[in-house]
A = this chain, B = another copy of it.
Amino acid sequence: MKQTAKHDLRELHSEVPAVRQASRQMVRELGFLDHWIGGCGVSHSQCHALIELEHHGVLTAGELSDLLNLDKSTLSRTLKELLEAEYVAVRGGGEDKRKKPLTLAKKGLKQLDRIHAYANDQVHAALSLLSEAERRTVVEGLALYAKALARTRAQSELAIRPMLRSDNPDVARIIRTVMPEFGANGPGFAINDPEVGQMFESYSGDQAGYFVVTRGGDRVVGGAGFGPLAGGGKDVCELRKMYFLPEARGTGMGRKLLLLVLERAREAGFKTCYLETLEKMTQARRLYESVGFEKLCKPLGATGHFGCDSWYAKKL
Residue numbers of A with Cβ under 8 A of B are 8, 11-13, 15-20, 22-33, 48, 51, 67-69, 119-120, 122-130, 132, 134-146, 148-153, 155-156, 252
**Candidates B120, B125, B140; contact of A152 at CB < 8 Å:** B125
**Candidates B26, B124, B132; contact of A8 at CB < 8 Å:** B132
Establish whether residues B141 and A19, one from each chain, have CB atoms under 8 Å apart when the complex forms.
no
- Most chain B CB within 10 A, of A11, A130, A142, is at A142
Q: Could you say how many copies of this chain the assembly holds?
A: 2
**Candidates B19, B28, B68; contact of A138 at CB < 8 Å:** B19
Kindly provide the distance from the CB of A86 to the nearest chain B CB, expressed in whole angstroms. 25
From known contacts A12-B124, A19-B123, A124-B16, infer whether A29 and B146 are also in contact, taking CB-CB under 8 Å.
yes
CA of A122 to CA of B155, assembled, Å: 11
CA of A150 to CA of B31, assembled, Å: 11
Kindly provide the distance from the CB of A140 to the nearest chain B CB, expressed in whole angstroms. 5
From known contacts A29-B149, A126-B152, infer whether A137 and B144 are also in contact, taking CB-CB under 8 Å.
yes
Q: Could you say which residues of chain B place their CB within 8 Å of the CB of A27?
A: 27, 30
CA of A127 to CA of B16, assembled, Å: 8
**Chain A interface mostly helix, strand, loop or mixed?**
helix
Establish whether residues A32 and B139, one from each chain, have CB atoms under 8 Å apart when the complex forms.
no
CA of A168 to CA of B30, assembled, Å: 38
- Most chain B CB within 10 A, of A29, A134, A141, is at A141
CA of A119 to CA of B15, assembled, Å: 13
Establish whether residues B153 and A120, one from each chain, have CB atoms under 8 Å apart when the complex forms.
no
Q: Could you say which residues of chain B place their CB within 8 Å of the CB of A22?
A: 139, 142-143, 146
Kindly provide the distance from the CB of A309 to the nearest chain B CB, expressed in whole angstroms. 31
Q: Could you say which residues of chain B place their CB within 8 Å of the CB of A26?
A: 23, 142-143, 145-146, 149
- Most chain B CB within 10 A, of A13, A17, A18, A156, is at A18
Establish whether residues A18 and B139, one from each chain, have CB atoms under 8 Å apart when the complex forms.
yes
- The 5 A-B pairs at the shortest CB distance, nearest first, are namely A141-B141, A29-B149, A22-B142, A26-B146, A126-B148
**Candidates B129, B141, B143, B252; contact of A139 at CB < 8 Å:** B141
CA of A11 to CA of B130, assembled, Å: 12
Establish whether residues B19 and A139, one from each chain, have CB atoms under 8 Å apart when the complex forms.
yes
